[in-house]
Amino acid sequence: MKTTVFAFHPDLANGSRINASLAKTASEAGFEVRDVYQLYPDFKIDVAAEQAALEAA
């Protein structure tokens, strides 16, 4: 079993030091971090893909 972290911020790398730090730390600890804004800049979320990511966790 693994842990998946969903990060929601329009500019995760530059716009939020706290969220960027949390995402980086989680990634370095081996968690899967999914930056939803980066994955879906057009806001058309692939629900099936995200459900599959959760089921694989």
Structural domain of 21 = 4-56
Q: How far apart are CA 44 and CA 31, in angstroms?
A: 24
pLDDT of residue 15: 83
Question: What's the domain count of the chain?
Answer: 1
CB count within 10 Å of CB 53 equals: 15
Q: How far is CA 15 from the centre of its chain?
A: 15
Q: pLDDT tens-digit profile of 2-48?
A: 899 999 999 988 888 999 999 999 999 999 999 999 999 999 999 99
Q: How far apart are CA 48 and CA 57, in angstroms?
A: 14
